[in-house]
């Protein structure tokens, strides 16, 4: 549409230009790494909070 290649071809061309990740690197952007760490931390925190609420409730 409008003399542009389809979206799939544009994405494939961009990925070919970028190339593979360097060895030992797991995230392309630091923002992605930070969001991943934040998500994992929230899961751990909510599990710990639930554990405390279940086993250490006052008066029980």
Tokens of 53: 């609420």
pLDDT, residue 1, reads 60
| Any domain includes 60 | no
| Any domain includes 1 | no
| Any domain includes 21 | yes
Q: Could you tell me the residue range of the domain that residue 19 belongs to? A: 7-55
Tokens of 59: 């008066």
| Any domain includes 15 | yes
pLDDT tens column, 2-33:
789 999 999 999 988 888 888 878 888 889 99
pLDDT, residue 25, reads 84
Tokens of 27: 């995230």
Cβ burial 5-29 (10 Å sphere, 16+ → b, else e): eeeeeeeeeeeeeeeeeeeeeeeee
Instruction: Report how many domains make up the chain.
Output: 1
User: What residues contact 36, with CB distance under 8 A and at least 6 apart?
Assistant: 27
- What global pTM score does this model have? 0.61
């Amino acid at each position: 549409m409008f003399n542009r290649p389809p979206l799939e071809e544009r994405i494939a061309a961009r990925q070919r230009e970028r190339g593979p990740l360097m060895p030992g690197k797991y995230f392309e952007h630091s923002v992605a790494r930070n969001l991943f760490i934040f998500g994992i931390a929230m899961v751990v925190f909510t599990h710990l909070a639930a554990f405390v609420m279940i086993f250490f409730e006052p008066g029980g």
